[in-house]
Structure 1
Amino acid sequence: MVVKIYVACHKPIYVPKHSLLVPIQVGAALCKDRFTGMIYDDTGDNISHHNRSYCELTAQYWAWKNDNADYYGFFHYRRYLSFNINKKMRPYVLANHPDERVLDKYGYDTFHIQDLIGGYDILVPIAEDMGASLFEYYKQSAYHHIEDLQLAAEILGDLFPEFTPYYRKYIHGTMMHPCNIYIMKRELFHEYCSWLFAILTEYDKRKGAANYTGEEARVNGYLAERLFGVYYTWLKDTGKVKALELQRIDFMLDSMKYFKRKVKYLIVPPNSRRTSLARKLREQLRK
């Protein structure tokens, strides 16, 4: 069984050496440097030149069009999945740097991972409670424009109307499967990519990111993060797959930021009653 887990990197970064991890430089077509020890998303059939709006999706597109595996996985250089299935109380854990010691802690034995993955069609991050509907959360998030999400919903209705009820269920709920990270069986991955990129291509035709700059321009990545949850909701509710939800590992590469985030994590754990109360307090203070 061939498992490839691509780790999307937009800058030179250390990716631990592991038989299943494949570091890939994203946006390589826009960068004058080639990062050592990686593959590049600007070879073969690719959308590398759209990386500013598609973000890590340029790696997913590249794998879809150019590589062959039984299972395809996608991580970020700062976000992995944990394969330690005994620790699943919170949606994520924090670590300072991705290294071999951390991988050992979170179940990165090759045979264990292959055995675990082989029992499922899809593996995703545990849902995180955002404290508001995902529609409202998108609306309130910096650099996000709600009309983009509304346009994506309109396109979904035009191209794949059978998904509209699952869009409504997911987007009007508070639980989010974030970060565009997952592992999928080959057939499912190809079906998902055909669906996702059809929607995003139509979005580009109707509007696109041409008038956006900076963080706003990452709109296709933002939309895909929500569309993934819609697709996963459809898969689950229609009983089409056997799925497993895993903790993600969030790496804080800056030691001071890691320390501050760790303190916050301990005081106000994600998906806890304290988190809900803290969000409500912030909302009251804004009024």
Structure 2
Amino acid sequence: MENPENQLKHELILYGRGLIAEAYFRYLSRKEQAGEVMCFAVTTMNGQGDTYCGRPCLEIEPALAKFPQAEVHLALQEKYHGEVVSLLEKLGRRPERVIGLHCMTELLGEQGIREISTACSELTVRRNPHDYSMLEIAASEHPEEKFTFYPMTQVPLSPEDMAKMRSYVQGNFFEGWGGIKDLAKSASRLDENVLYIAMASSAKDALVSHEGLPDYVHTVLGGAAAYEGQRSGELAYDDEGRNISLYNNLYSELTVAYWLWQKAPQTKYLGLCHYRRHFVLPAEVQGAIAKGEIDVLLTRPRLTFPSVREYFANLPVTTMDELDYETMLRLIESEDSELAKFSRDFLEGQIHFPNNMVIARREIYLDYCSFMFKILQGMQEYYAGEGVLRPDRYLGYVGELLTTVYFACHRGKYRTAYIDYKLLKEI
């Protein structure tokens, strides 16, 4: 198939409706080719609106009948490609281009590198070597002080966003957060008495290789209350003891964090990672943990535009919305009015710590969980009392905001290091 970079000269039907389709439309708009898009198409409407991104949205058969000369470009998750290609073949058509998440992030990543490098020559921007979907950005004179950036939802950037990016990256963010810039270049072996990382997994996980995982990473099956398969003594299950396992569809990996909070082993440090996302712990960081020279490890701060609130509550990236955002703030307000004001102000900024991935001293991790789950369970109880149904995973996304707020409001209090995570490849 042709390279999407080539000039488009035909009418287009974009088959897809969601994050990837919207990103592809935005990409074409930047290249002044979105005028060729006649409509978006879906297999069945199922009550979806009849417009999307300012274009008509039709079922695929009426779309092909209305625009018989249009090229068809697929723009949806890879797992649906085979099904949709087969459907088109039955209708006597083949897609001219097939765009999935990996392809779209590659395209927008290259576009982001070009735009940021041109507009901010004093910054260094490159692909993150651990996660194909991310860029990393640093001031040229301080390459170790890196931020991550997700181009999928952020590119193109407005001049205002570029100015904010430059301000954050060239500012004194790391100094202001009590970060540890220079760790001792010595390593000490981490053993089971020092660090316990719960790896949140589920029965629906894609297959990835976990060969060679360190001894301090332990698999915990999330949503175990609904798991009907045979249990293994080599795994832990998040329905043991006091738990929220039945609500894994709402909390995602945080049902495992809850399990860790309730059943935390007596290690000095606790942490949470995902079955595909794992901390990158260089020797000097492991040494600092073993020697107790560090309090908290967070994933590198993520630059988010136009704001963290807008990203989480209004962009098609999460399943939470403004109702969840305001409910979260109201519940924080009921606990601590100053923290609520801080949270509202901070989340109007451009920094968050993604994926609920944290390593911290045991007492800090437990306190963080106590704060987070009081708010999350308060939201769940409030909606239940009001008879309001919320979508899957929304509390997992709210948790990312609470993770950010908790460690933001404690900035400077803890000795903190910012580390990469790596995305494991599917088998």
Deviations 1:120-162 (A, max 9, x none): 1110000111222011111113433221011101111111223
Q: Which of 219, 238, 255 is residue 23 of structure 1 equivalent to?
A: 219
Structure of greater Rg: 2
Deviations 1:235-268 (A, max 9, x none): 10xx3211111012123426xxxxxxxxxxxxxx
| Partner residue, 1:89 | none
| Partner residue, 1:211 | 389
After superposition, the Cα gap between the structure-2 partners of 1:35 and 1:80, relative to the gap in structure 1 and judged at 3 Å, is farther
- Equivalent residue runs for 1:71-110 within 5 Å: 71-84=269-282
After superposition, the Cα gap between the structure-2 partners of 1:34 and 1:181, relative to the gap in structure 1 and judged at 3 Å, is farther
Q: Which of 70, 95, 111 is residue 268 of structure 2 equivalent to?
A: 70
- In structure 1, C-alpha distance between the alignment counterparts of 2:305 and 2:338, rounded to whole Å: 28
Deviations 1:56-84 (A, max 9, x none): 11111111111222110100011111123
Instruction: Please tell me the residue identity of whatever aligns with 2:423.
Output: D
- Equivalent residue runs for 1:78-157 within 5 Å: 78-84=276-282, 114-117=286-289, 118-138=292-312, 139-142=314-317, 143-157=319-333
Q: Which of 46, 49, 61 is residue 246 of structure 2 equivalent to?
A: 49
- In structure 2, C-alpha distance between the alignment counterparts of 1:203 and 1:140, rounded to whole Å: 21
- In structure 2, C-alpha distance between the alignment counterparts of 1:25 and 1:193, rounded to whole Å: 19
| Partner residue, 2:403 | 228
After superposition, the Cα gap between the structure-2 partners of 1:34 and 1:55, relative to the gap in structure 1 and judged at 3 Å, is farther
Instruction: State the secondary structure of the residue aligned to 1:179.
Output: helix
Residue 227 of structure 1 deviates from its aligned partner by: 0.8
Contact 2:320/2:395 (<8 A) preserved? no
Which piece of structure 1 moves more, 141-150 or 57-66?
141-150
Q: Structure 1 residue 175 and structure 2 residue 351: aligned? A: yes
Instruction: State the secondary structure of the residue aligned to 1:7.
Output: strand
- In structure 2, C-alpha distance between the alignment counterparts of 1:34 and 1:247, rounded to whole Å: 35
Residue 35 of structure 1 deviates from its aligned partner by: 5.9
Contact 1:28/1:34 (<8 A) preserved? no
Contact 2:320/2:398 (<8 A) preserved? no
| Partner residue, 1:165 | 341
Q: Which of 246, 252, 255 is residue 419 of structure 2 equivalent to?
A: 246
Contact 1:133/1:172 (<8 A) preserved? yes
The size of the alignment, in residue pairs, is 223
| Partner residue, 1:6 | 198
Contact 2:280/2:422 (<8 A) preserved? yes
After superposition, the Cα gap between the structure-2 partners of 1:165 and 1:252, relative to the gap in structure 1 and judged at 3 Å, is farther
Give the TM-score taking structure 2 as reference length.
0.49
Q: Indicate the structure with greater helix content.
A: 1
Residue 210 of structure 1 deviates from its aligned partner by: 6.2
After superposition, the Cα gap between the structure-2 partners of 1:52 and 1:187, relative to the gap in structure 1 and judged at 3 Å, is same
Q: Percent identity?
A: 26
After superposition, the Cα gap between the structure-2 partners of 1:35 and 1:15, relative to the gap in structure 1 and judged at 3 Å, is farther
Contact 2:219/2:236 (<8 A) preserved? yes
- In structure 1, C-alpha distance between the alignment counterparts of 2:230 and 2:198, rounded to whole Å: 17
Deviations 1:16-54 (A, max 9, x none): 342111011100111112464321111112111111111
Instruction: State the secondary structure of the residue aligned to 2:305.
Output: coil
Instruction: State the secondary structure of the residue aligned to 1:43.
Output: coil
Instruction: State the secondary structure of the residue aligned to 1:207.
Output: helix
Contact 1:15/1:23 (<8 A) preserved? no
Contact 2:297/2:419 (<8 A) preserved? yes
- In structure 2, C-alpha distance between the alignment counterparts of 1:65 and 1:15, rounded to whole Å: 26
Contact 1:156/1:163 (<8 A) preserved? yes
Structure 2, gaps ≥5 residues long: 1-192
Instruction: Please tell me the residue identity of whatever aligns with 1:63.
Output: L
Structure of higher RCO (CA pairs closer than 8 Å, 6+ residues apart)? 1
After superposition, the Cα gap between the structure-2 partners of 1:124 and 1:34, relative to the gap in structure 1 and judged at 3 Å, is farther
Deviations 1:76-96 (A, max 9, x none): 011111123xxxxxxxxxxxx
- In structure 2, C-alpha distance between the alignment counterparts of 1:245 and 1:231, rounded to whole Å: 15
